[in-house]
Amino acid sequence: MSTPDAAAGAMPPPPRPDAADAAAMPPPPPIPTNSKTNPDLPIAGARADIVRLLREHDFLVVVGDTGSGKTTQLPAYLLEDDESRTDNDTFAPVAITQPRRVAATSVSRRVAEERAVTLGGEEVGYKVRFDSVAQRATKLTFMTDGVLVRECVGDGRLTKYKTIVLDEAHERSVDTDVLFGLVKQAVELRKSTNDKLRCVVASATLDAARFSQYFDGAPVLRVPGRSHPVDIYHSKQQQPMTRFGPADKRYVSAAVDVAVQIHKSQNEGHILIFLTGQDEIENACQALRREAAKLEDTIVVGERGPAMLVLPLYGALPQEAADRVFDAVDASQIRKVVVATNIAETSLTVPGVKYVVDPGYVKQKGYDPERAVASLVVVPISKIAAEQRAGRAGRTEAGQCYRLYSKACFDAMAPETIPEIRRSSMASVALALKSLRIVDVLGFDFLDAPDQKQLACALLELHALGALESHGILTPLGHAMASLALEPDLARAALESVHFTGEGTTDPTVRNAVLAVVAMLSAEDVWYVGGKASDRRGAPSARRDAADQLRDEALDAHARFRHPRGDLISLLVVFSEYERACRSGGERTFARKHSLRDRALRFARKARDQLDAELARCERRENKRRRESSDGRVDLDEVCRALAAGLCLNAAERTLNDAYLLLPSASAHVQENKPEKSLVRLDAETEAPMSRPPDHICFHELRVNRHAKGSFARNVVVVDGKWLKKCRKRVGTADVGLLCGKEASTKAPVVVAATAAAAPAASSATAAAPVVDSGQAVDAARARFLARKKQSKTRK
Ligand SMILES: Nc1ncnc2c1ncn2[C@@H]1O[C@H](COP(=O)(O)OP(=O)(O)OP(=O)(O)O)[C@@H](O)[C@H]1O
């Protein structure tokens, strides 16, 4: 079927998906007279087409310019159409996915405002990780992709909903890509029933033909027109790039300078600056505040313009801090300067933003499958991202976008962002798919099949962590891991702390301690070190001395928390002392006094409470009883042992010169090109409290430090070699073919062949068969035998 491509608004009338159908089409449903939608937005012209096409097709692709009204208006059209109908064929409840929590919360608030209803009532709500403001019957629920993926885990047919709107589909996070396949499957499952599920895929910029083809030849509706025009200015200079990202951080000071210039010379209107991460943002905020203070001092009486209000916005910010960005202010008195990561790139409307400053970089997740380590790298953005950023300036009035890169540089940008699934750890993706009973994960219907090698490694990791049987079925432990809102390694640690798979009762002090560590790892970095890193290197000596002093003071303040058993236990000490401070009402001063990040502590506390409830559900299912702790003291051996069970695939042992040698990853036995032996070191702060370097460590993160020329294990915990041996006993014993529910073959391992990434999913999975040593061969044969036995039992 060819792709129908419709247009709305000022364009010629949309060609129908099929001419014969069009002739027989019923007239478009009338727009309710009491509509609470905005008739002035470009999407309003396409309203009738949206409703009609969605009644006729299971899938609809809507491509509309940024600000045309896809996010806020389209779901409301579906709701109002329901209200004007008398039959039972309704669109609501509708789930609308957003790539990020700040988008889900702020957009739902906007829609509730437009509809003059209370957020969290029957009409509009939101659900994000660790926070749900919605009822079961809420008709329009905005949620992150991740939340909907997790709902699919519990209900593969998504029976709660009648329509799914996959918004910002171009963002291509792992969750979005998984959702494409899951929603497609749910629509298929409900196709032949009278409880149809429909799906709208919406974006400002996506390859409509590819999406249409993937979603069963869905019609494509184009909605041209922005709410307001945006003038774009390019810089004449080119930022030098290296293999590791921009050559220096000049773009941060350049962005600050441009914002200050705008503030001094331009009319009212808020400014939005895009930077790559929290540290950069906090540094830029400090610089902007310094500039604002200087301006205040030099302003001539009577010439005072609006004062600058500098606000950060990044993913790890707690809700209240993020909310400040959206608070209404009098623009004649205050000019907001919001310094944000790319979380402000899609869906968000910061009312009154008129100027966007875009240096053209983003921090992206990368993944090194050889060492099974995730990393973050700063890379140039794609054209799509640049357009989205510019789009933020024209939301509530005409705007301007200042690109700190040349037009030539823009022309050279990649057209779209590489999907996250192509550059991240697949462990949680594979776990989610397995918990949906998708056995042949390598054959899953992805829009873009991820790297087969990474996916195969993820399966091996999950098997090594005890989440998968050798024939690819999820173990009870794996099911429990999938039900926790955590990465598989941390979920494993949490479940180990309650002896999920073992005998005995749970020691609540150990359980709570592990949960505290896991919650702290889910928050932003708690250790706050004042002074800019760039000031400590190569700055004039006075600035360097001041920065060094700030840093030393912070490290001194942190030293009291540092524990000889490693950073993870130090985090536990911080958390416990913070809790004590909260109980005595001293939480407000605690962070400042000890040079810690208050937001991280508050976030961790909330995350711990949520995890506590989730883990309690698992314990109830397992019928675990809690033992009364005799004296309330935490058995740190048990805490470290539980953490080791989760992090055992990130483990290293000491070599003679106090460097640490990484233990083989779960997939090392099937690697065709064996990875180089990798040495890592400990940070000075981790090492300081230890009387001697430990023999074995596990870690949560590995950082490559280009200045110190080496890799450093971060968030380390000291573990016992015996524990590691026990937790790692499944490492290297699995067969990827079997893990995908197929027969193991004795041929070479497809998973790591140089051509594996390019091979189509299904065929590579069929052929997959790791090379195994004789011990592993026996295990694999036994697994095959058990799988066959199980199959024949099922047949009987
Ligand atoms: N919080 C808000 N305050 C003021 N106006 C808003 C707000 N949210 C949305 N709007 C208005 O509604 C318009 C449509 O917003 P909406 O988010 O629905 O557009 P969109 O097409 O989804 O854009 P994008 O593709 O950028 O997400 C905006 O351009 C803006 O004019």
Q: What are the structural domain ranges in the chain? A: 3-223, 230-421
Find the range with the poorest average confidence among 651-660, 673-682, 769-778.
769-778
Nearest protein CA to atom 26 of ligand 1, as residue: 66
What's phi and psi for 522, nearest 5 deg?
-85, -15
Report the b/e string of 763-780 with b at 16+ CB within 10 A. ebbbbbbbebeeebeebb
Give the atom of ligand 1 at the shortest distance from the alpha carbon of 391. 26
Highest-pLDDT range among 535-549, 557-571, 593-607, 665-679:
557-571
Per-residue pLDDT, averaged over 589-604, amounts to 90
Q: Which atom of ligand 1 is nearest to the CA of 395?
A: 29
Angle between the 70-83 and 101-114 helix axes, to the nearest 10 degrees? 50
Q: Is the CB of 349 under 6 A from ligand 1?
A: yes
Helix, strand, coil % in the chain, rounded to nearest 5? 45, 15, 40
Nearest to 604 by CA among 687, 495, 490, 772: 490
Q: How confident is the model at residue 766 (pLDDT cuts 50, 70, 90)?
A: very low
Asked if residue 140 has pLDDT above 70, the reply is: yes
Lowest mean pLDDT among 200-209, 282-291, 425-434: 425-434
CB atoms within 10 A of CB 229: 11
Q: Mean pLDDT of all residues in the chain? A: 82
For ligand 1, whether the C-beta of 396 sits within 6 Å is yes
What's the first-to-final CA gap in the chain, in angstroms?
43
Q: Measured in angstroms, how far is the CA atom of residue 378 from the centroid of ligand 1?
A: 28
Q: Which residues pair with 705 in a beta bridge?
A: 710
pLDDT for residue 216 is more than 60: yes
Kindly report whether the peptide bond that precedes residue 93 is cis, defined as omega within 30 degrees of 0.
yes
- Per residue in 700-710, pLDDT tens? 988 776 666 67
In angstroms, rounded to a whole number, what is the distance separating the alpha carbons of residues 354 and 334?
14
From the CA of 484, how far away is ligand 1's center (Å)?
A: 33
Q: Do 230-421 and 3-223 fall under one CATH topology?
A: yes
Residue-wise burial string across 504-526, b where 16 or more C-beta atoms lie within 10 A, e elsewhere:
eebbbbbbbbbbbbbbbbbbbeb
**Spatial distance between the Cα atoms of 769 and 749, rounded to a whole number of angstroms:** 5
29-53 pLDDT, tens digit per residue, is 566 667 788 888 999 999 999 999 9
CA of 397 to the centre of ligand 1 (A): 11
Residue among 211, 277, 734 nearest 462 (CA): 734
Residue-wise pLDDT for 380-393, tens only, equals 899 989 999 999 99
How far does the centroid of ligand 1 lie from the alpha carbon of residue 203, in Å?
13
Nearest residue (CA) to ligand 1, atom 30? 395
- In this prediction, residue 464 has a pLDDT band, given cuts at 50, 70 and 90, of very high
* Interval 5-16: pLDDT, tens: 443 333 333 333
Position 376 scores a pLDDT of 62
Distance of CA 49 from the midpoint of ligand 1 (Å): 20
Q: Please indicate whether residue 64, judged by its CB atom, sits closer than 6 Å to ligand 1.
A: yes
Question: Cα–Cα distance between 747 and 179 in angstroms, integer?
Answer: 33
346 touches ligand 1 (CB under 6 Å): yes
Dist CA 796 CA 791 (whole Å): 9
Prediction ipTM score: 0.96
Q: Find out whether the beta carbon of 110 lies less than 6 Å from any atom of ligand 1.
A: yes
> Which of the residue ranges 199-203, 461-465, 506-510 would you say has the lowest mean pLDDT?
506-510
Instruction: Compute the average pLDDT of residues 312-323.
Output: 83
Nearest CA to ligand 1 atom 9: 349
Of the residues 72, 108, 221, 353, which should be mutated to test ligand 1's pocket, given the most ligand atoms within 8 Å of the CB?
72
CA distances 578 to 130, 448, 568, Å, are: 20, 45, 15
Q: Is the pLDDT of residue 621 over 90?
A: no
Residue 225 Cα to ligand 1 midpoint, Å, equals 13
Q: Tell me, what's the pLDDT at 718?
A: 97
Q: Residue 669: pLDDT band by 50, 70, 90 thresholds?
A: low
Residue 323 is inside which H or E element, if any?
helix 319-324
The encoded tokens of residue 622 equal 């397992």
pLDDT for the residue 249: 75
Pocket of ligand 1 contains residue 75 by CB under 6 Å:
no
Ligand 1 centroid to 684 CA: how many Å? 48
Q: Which atom of ligand 1 is nearest to the CA of 110?
A: 1
Best residue among 40, 66, 71, 348 to mutate for probing ligand 1's pocket (most ligand atoms within 8 Å of CB) is 71
Q: What percent of the chain has pLDDT over 90?
A: 45
Ligand 1 centroid to 348 CA: how many Å? Answer: 7
Please report, to the nearest 10 degrees, the dihedral formed by the alpha carbons of residues 361, 363, 365, 366 taken in order: 60
Distance CA 497, CA 618 (A): 12
Which range among 119-128, 304-313, 783-792 shows the weakest confidence by mean pLDDT? 783-792
- Exposed e or buried b for every residue in 259-297, given b needs 16+ CB within 10 A? bbebbeeeeebbbbbbbbbbbbbbbbbebbeebbeebee
175-189, 410-424, 747-761: range with lowest mean pLDDT: 747-761
Ligand 1 site, residue 344, Cβ cutoff 6 A: no
Å from CA of 391 to ligand 1 middle: 10
CA of residue 347 to ligand 1 center, whole Å: 7
* Helix or strand run (H / E) with residue 400: strand 399-403
392 Cβ inside 6 Å of ligand 1: no
For a pocket test of ligand 1, which of 140, 345, 389, 396 has the largest count of ligand atoms closer than 8 A to its C-beta?
A: 396
Mean pLDDT of 232-244: 72
Q: Which atom of ligand 1 is nearest the CA belonging to 394? A: 29
User: What confidence score (pLDDT) does residue 304 get?
Assistant: 58
Is the pLDDT at 245 greater than 90? The verdict is no
Is the minimum distance from the CB of 97 to ligand 1 under 6 angstroms?
A: no
Q: Is 551 in the pocket of ligand 1 (CB under 6 A)?
A: no
pTM of the model: 0.67
Residue, of 563 and 796, whose pLDDT is higher: 563
Burial of 386 (0-12, 13-18, 19+ CB in 10 A): buried
Q: What is the pLDDT of residue 672?
A: 56
CA 53, 57, 63, 69 torsion: positive or negative?
positive
Given a contact cutoff of 8 angstroms between Cβ atoms, the answer to whether 439 and 195 are in contact is no
Distance of CA 149 to the CA centre of its chain: 12
Phi, psi of 22, rounded to the nearest 5 degrees: -60, -40
**Is any ligand 1 atom within 6 A of the Cβ of residue 37?**
no
> How far is ligand 1, taken at its centre, from the CA of residue 158, in Å?
28
Region for 437 from its dihedrals, namely left if φ exceeds 0, alpha if ψ lies in -120 to 50, beta otherwise: left
Q: How far apart are CA 66 and CA 86, in angstroms?
A: 34
Are 452 and 750 contacting, i.e. CB atoms less than 8 angstroms apart? Answer: yes
Query: In this structure, which residue's CA is closest to atom 24 in ligand 1?
Result: 66
Q: How far is the CA of 106 from the centre of ligand 1 (A)?
A: 11
Q: Can you identify the CATH homologous superfamily of domain 230-421?
A: P-loop containing nucleotide triphosphate hydrolases (3.40.50.300)
335-348 pLDDT, tens digit each = 999 999 999 988 77
| Residues contacting 770, CB < 8 A, separation 6+ | 669, 670, 734, 735, 736, 737, 749, 751, 776
Residue 222 CA to ligand 1 center (angstroms) comes to 17
User: Is the shortest distance between the CB of 67 and ligand 1 below 6 Å?
Assistant: yes
Joined together, the tokens standing for residue 258 give 């441009």
Tell whether the model's pLDDT for residue 244 goes beyond 60: no
Residue 387 CA to ligand 1 center (angstroms) comes to 15
The CA distance from 12 to 65, in Å, is: 17
Q: Which residue has the higher pLDDT, 120 or 793?
A: 120
- Nearest ligand 1 atom, CA 392: 26
For residues 332-364, b (16+ Cβ closer than 10 Å) or e, as one string? eeebbbbbbbbbbbbbbbbbbbbbbbbbbbbbb
For 466-472, what is the mean pLDDT?
A: 94
**Strand pairing class (5-7; 163-166):** unpaired
> What's the CATH code, domain 3-223?
3.40.50.300
Among 575-584, 628-637, 639-648, the minimum mean pLDDT is found in: 628-637
